Structure 1
Amino acid sequence: MRTIIFCLLCLATLFPAAVLGDEARVVVHPENTDEALLNPGMGWVCFHYSNRLWAYGSQVEPGDTLDWFPGASVIYFRLPWCYLEPEEGKYRWDLIDSYAQPWVTQGKKIALRVTACENRFRYATPEWVQKAGAKGIDYKFSTTGTTAQETLWEPDYKDPVFIEKLGNFLAAMAKRYNGNPDVAFIDIGTFGMWGEGHTGGTSKLSQEETDRVVKIHIDLHKKCFPDTLLCISDDVAGSSRQGNSFPSTDYAFSQGVTLRDDSILVQKAPKQWYHAGMAQKFWPTLPVIIEHEHYGLSRERKAWDPALLLESVEQYHCSYMSIHWWPDVFLKENREVVAKINRRLGYRLELREISFPKEVSIGQSFNIDTTWANVGVAPCYGGGFVAFTLKNRAGKIAWVSTDESFDVRTLPVAVPGAAQEVKHTSGCIAGIVTPIPTINDGVVKYLKESKDFPFGESVPTIRPGTYQLYISVGKRDGSPVIALPLNDSDGAKRYKIGKIVVKNR
């Protein structure tokens, strides 16, 4: 019986950080890069519609998925209900699909908010809802410092007719987006001005009344979107209300709804934000989203501070950060802080060391030792498992071994420069040695009789030759999902570590 041997050799010219440990093992210290990574559950969020059809995607060329903006992973559509259902039961999903599809094709995500009250529309909630009997109030509202002239309409957010019609709309929306893997998150935005829970300039609900209404809208969205990440504005608890725990946001958390801050850097420090403390309940288990003020307006008020934008990522343990302006202008004027944020935003998994034997026998167990660190501000909420892949000379996959005992979700987060290294030993078996069954096997009998049987007594699961060793993080079946800050990617999130020679002993 022949035994096939894996000889794991270091590629000294391609892996200068690799050194020989003892005579039987190779140790590699991969160089981790500073590149922006596109990974699930994190990234920069481009406001295509920011309550307006023209802001801020109208200056972006059709089909442009912002690949030139480092870390841009989500296109965000925030629209009044009236645009999407202008007539009852007749929908304008094309307003979303036309711009979403290029992003989805590129493997990026979309996010949504549908609002029911806006200061730019008399009927952000469609007029046909009022005509159907939904109650509401007329009001005047201005953000320009001048006396408001136009009369606008705000629905009663708990009115039975309003809730019925909204529920029908959300049910139709859920047919497209609930459980849709292309959706990063959906805002619960059907209450208050801009979907942020403000009623101070409209119906002037007390906080107790607000809390009751918020619960209704959380429950309605959870009913329609049980399989999609939902988030709610921090302002439902009071936009400048100090504290860490409030009934509305506590209830949201209890329902698995995450938090977004709408918005930071509206005012100068020390009033740059109010609810970093509130985020501490959410971030250990749910990705936190930050929306900064419209960049141009923040800059005009002299509230914009790149250092504070970076600090907000740290304090909130933020996974998603907004691009709330023309994206090209924002990047041009903030490129340095964008790069810094990309090194901390969400999670960032570094492979610090990998050690493996130079030779392993087919079918026999051996260990690969790795050292990992999460240098981001948030956990890798979706988790992932380390896989080792062998590729042949043609670049084709010959063998995959996944370690399901180690979930990268467990890697801790820390302040900058203090990431905790976690060592792990993966038990692997490469190939299998087992006799070929011949009992009642007519095919084997035929091949032997025709002298066309190419094997010996055992199954040849790996052919002799030279193989490349790759590492990846992803699904239990070895499918890569998470991009790592490593060089020598195969384009599918597998990263070359060394070379393996498979030979006969």
Structure 2
Amino acid sequence: MRSLQSSKRRPIGEIAAALAVAFIASSFVGFAQEVTTVVRPVETHEILINPGMGIQTFQRYNGDSLNPGVTWSEEGPVGTLKTEEKKPDFPGSSVAYVRWHWATLEPVQGKVRWEIIDLALAEARRHGQRLAIRLMPYDPKHPLPKWYRESGARRANSNDGNIWEPDFSDPLYFKDWSALINEAGRRYDGHPDLESVDISTVGYWGEGWSSYMPEFPVQKKLIDIYFKAFHKTQLLMNFDEPEALVYGTSHGAGWRFDCLGDMKEHEPEMLDQYPEEIAETGIQDVWRSAPVSMETCGVPESWLRNGWDAHYILSEALRWHVSTINVKSSAIPQLWGKEFEDLERRMGYRFVLRRGEWRTQARAGEALHLKTWWVNEGVAPVYRPFVLAFRLSSPNQSRVIRTDEDVRKWIPGDAVFEDPVFVPSDLPAGEYQISVALLDPVTLSPAIQLAIEGRGRDGWYSLGKIRVSDGY
């Protein structure tokens, strides 16, 4: 064994020079491995039709004729509607909102015409929409089912010429109404084409108000029917009774009100009831986890005839973080075209990818070190768990990488997704295109239009290139 004393020593200067060369070489290798591609997609300002948001169709579907003048029907479709040959001048819609009276659905006790709802779900899908529904007990023109009125159930009002109104605290009302809702939940809860269900309880249209209101424990019991029947499908709580509104939204329901635009001279809801009730009930932040939906008071044409300020009305809707609005499939006055287009661009969510960055070269099995910066330019998040995904594709290969990002947390403002996102270990070496998409959680197909250019026919957005080499 050679001793230390007999070993040949290197000059200190030579050692220092060797270390410097080694440091430079390792730094160069590290630098080469960490070269990144940065892209800044071009934003688009076009109106986007995206799931669960926008202007709804009412009692009809995309392409169907509009209601004339300031009229509309409360009778939901029971068959296939005839689509107009010439597309009406109306916004494209991702949600068809329909509602039916109890007597229409169950004309004979226990024999519910479920085929009506089945057909509506199929029609919504055929027209590129999802279905939002309400089952209504009665209204001023459509009475409760004849079999119910003759069942011995208690009547709340006298025979005064008004429509027969039930005693909502009557056990028969709870029994028969809950039977309908429970079976609806069993059949349709979580249906891929069902967007939402209104919580419908007492009074005209089931909106939760009446001259014969029961005590709140009775209201609560009627509301609870829905929470027991629908665990997967989004529920919406009507706005009319504050205590019921607080209860419903505190249990996961979104909220909706039925008279957006009311600017009448005496007790205007837009100036009095709505802002006050939102504040007093403390529902200002419900939009962060559940949607806000609104329905016009009359139709936009009636706003114009009344001299109401559309800019103010729509600005308030946006301030209240609206995702969907029902204008009752009525024409939008040409004078307000710009206001409604601005509304469509801002209501709901609007995702802009501002910046993307990834390693320019990577081995199969290695991390891309992918980082993306997003901005939600809308007024609300998305409420379904869409899947943020990236795709590596070449003429001969295509691999989709799904992430665990919860895009429901992308509230208005900035969001950053930063994750290793590994290159598939069996991906052959070569040059690949990186694309991004938000996938439907059921079909896993691209479902959301981003507010950027570069969308392909398949719904994926092309971002740039990456070079993949063989793995270790």
TM-score range, shorter chain: 0.7 to 0.9
Task: State the one-letter code of the partner of 1:469.
Answer: I
Whole-Å Cα distance in 2 between the matches of residues 107 and 361 of structure 1? 41
Q: What is the CA-CA distance between 1:325 and the residue it aligns to?
A: 4.0
User: In the alignment, is the contact (CA less than 8 A) between 1:78 and 1:112 conserved in 2?
Assistant: yes
Q: What is the CA-CA distance between 1:128 and the residue it aligns to?
A: 0.4
Are 2:201 and 1:236 equivalent residues in the alignment? Answer: no
Map of 1:52 onto structure 2: 74
Unaligned runs of 5+ in 2: 1-32, 61-71
Are 2:471 and 1:472 equivalent residues in the alignment? Answer: no
Q: Deviations over 1:225-267 (max 9, x none)?
A: 2322211211123xxxxxxxxx221211232222101212123
Q: Deviations over 1:346-384 (max 9, x none)?
A: 111110011222222222223122111111111223344
Matches for 1:281-360 after TM superposition, within 5 Å: 281-295=285-299, 296-303=301-308, 305-326=309-330, 329-330=331-332, 334-360=336-362
Q: What is the CA-CA distance between 1:23 and the residue it aligns to?
A: 9.3
User: In the alignment, is the contact (CA less than 8 A) between 1:331 and 1:338 conserved in 2?
Assistant: no
> How many residue pairs were aligned?
419
Are 2:81 and 1:77 equivalent residues in the alignment? Answer: no
Query: Alpha carbons of 1:139 and 1:498: their partners in 2 closer, same or farther (altered >3 Å)?
Result: farther
Greater Cα offset, 476-485 or 172-181: 476-485
Q: What is the CA-CA distance between 1:289 and the residue it aligns to?
A: 0.8
Matches for 1:331-410 after TM superposition, within 5 Å: 334-393=336-395, 398-404=398-404, 406-410=405-409
Q: What is the CA-CA distance between 1:479 and the residue it aligns to?
A: 5.1
Q: What is the CA-CA distance between 1:75 and the residue it aligns to?
A: 1.1
Whole-Å Cα distance in 2 between the matches of residues 180 and 59 of structure 1? 20
Counterpart selection for 2:427 from 449, 462, 465: 462
Counterpart selection for 1:427 from 420, 428, 432: 420
Query: Alpha carbons of 1:111 and 1:63: their partners in 2 closer, same or farther (altered >3 Å)?
Result: farther
SS at match of 2:165: strand
Are 2:227 and 1:222 equivalent residues in the alignment? Answer: yes
Map of 2:174 onto structure 1: 163
Matches for 1:77-96 after TM superposition, within 5 Å: 77-96=98-117
Map of 1:180 onto structure 2: 191
Greater Cα offset, 76-85 or 355-364: 355-364
Counterpart selection for 1:493 from 433, 440, 459: 459
Query: Alpha carbons of 1:156 and 1:297: their partners in 2 closer, same or farther (altered >3 Å)?
Result: farther
User: In the alignment, is the contact (CA less than 8 A) between 2:75 and 2:101 conserved in 1?
Assistant: no
Q: What is the CA-CA distance between 1:126 and the residue it aligns to?
A: 0.4
Whole-Å Cα distance in 2 between the matches of residues 158 and 467 of structure 1? 66
Whole-Å Cα distance in 2 between the matches of residues 330 and 491 of structure 1? 31
Q: TM-score, normalised by structure 1?
A: 0.74
User: In the alignment, is the contact (CA less than 8 A) between 1:310 and 1:340 conserved in 2?
Assistant: no
Query: Alpha carbons of 1:99 and 1:333: their partners in 2 closer, same or farther (altered >3 Å)?
Result: farther
Greater C-alpha Rg: 2
Matches for 1:197-208 after TM superposition, within 5 Å: 197-200=208-211, 203=212, 205=213
Task: State the one-letter code of the partner of 1:499.
Answer: K
Identity among equivalent pairs (%): 28
Map of 2:253 onto structure 1: 257
Query: Alpha carbons of 1:58 and 1:386: their partners in 2 closer, same or farther (altered >3 Å)?
Result: closer
Whole-Å Cα distance in 1 between the matches of residues 231 and 441 of structure 2? 24
Map of 2:146 onto structure 1: 127
Q: Deviations over 1:366-415 (max 9, x none)?
A: 31221111111112233444322012226xx52222332x43223332xx
Whole-Å Cα distance in 2 between the matches of residues 468 and 89 of structure 1? 57
Which structure shows the bigger proportion of residues in strand conformation? 1
Query: Alpha carbons of 1:311 and 1:399: their partners in 2 closer, same or farther (altered >3 Å)?
Result: same
Unaligned runs of 5+ in 1: 1-21, 141-148, 238-246, 414-418, 433-460
Query: Alpha carbons of 1:85 and 1:385: their partners in 2 closer, same or farther (altered >3 Å)?
Result: closer
Which structure shows the bigger proportion of residues in helix conformation? 2
Counterpart selection for 2:46 from 27, 31, 35: 35
User: In the alignment, is the contact (CA less than 8 A) between 1:475 and 1:481 conserved in 2?
Assistant: yes
SS at match of 1:213: helix
SS at match of 1:428: coil
Query: Alpha carbons of 1:357 and 1:83: their partners in 2 closer, same or farther (altered >3 Å)?
Result: same
* CA RMSD after TM alignment: 3.3
SS at match of 1:365: coil
SS at match of 2:245: helix
Q: What is the CA-CA distance between 1:334 and the residue it aligns to?
A: 4.1
Whole-Å Cα distance in 1 between the matches of residues 79 and 365 of structure 2? 59
Greater Cα offset, 95-104 or 76-85: 95-104
Map of 1:151 onto structure 2: 162
Query: Alpha carbons of 1:407 and 1:70: their partners in 2 closer, same or farther (altered >3 Å)?
Result: same
Task: State the one-letter code of the partner of 2:259.
Answer: S
Query: Alpha carbons of 1:99 and 1:330: their partners in 2 closer, same or farther (altered >3 Å)?
Result: farther
Map of 1:272 onto structure 2: 270
Q: Deviations over 1:60-111 (max 9, x none)?
A: 7438998974451111112211111111122233444444423213542111
Counterpart selection for 2:204 from 189, 193, 218: 193
Greater Cα offset, 63-72 or 477-486: 63-72
Task: State the one-letter code of the partner of 2:464.
Answer: G
Q: What is the CA-CA distance between 1:344 and the residue it aligns to?
A: 1.3
Greater Cα offset, 275-284 or 183-192: 275-284
Query: Alpha carbons of 1:271 and 1:255: their partners in 2 closer, same or farther (altered >3 Å)?
Result: closer
User: In the alignment, is the contact (CA less than 8 A) between 1:392 and 1:398 conserved in 2?
Assistant: yes
Q: What is the CA-CA distance between 1:172 and the residue it aligns to?
A: 2.8
Q: TM-score, normalised by structure 2?
A: 0.79
Quick one: higher RCO (CA 8 Å, sep 6+), 1 or 2?
1
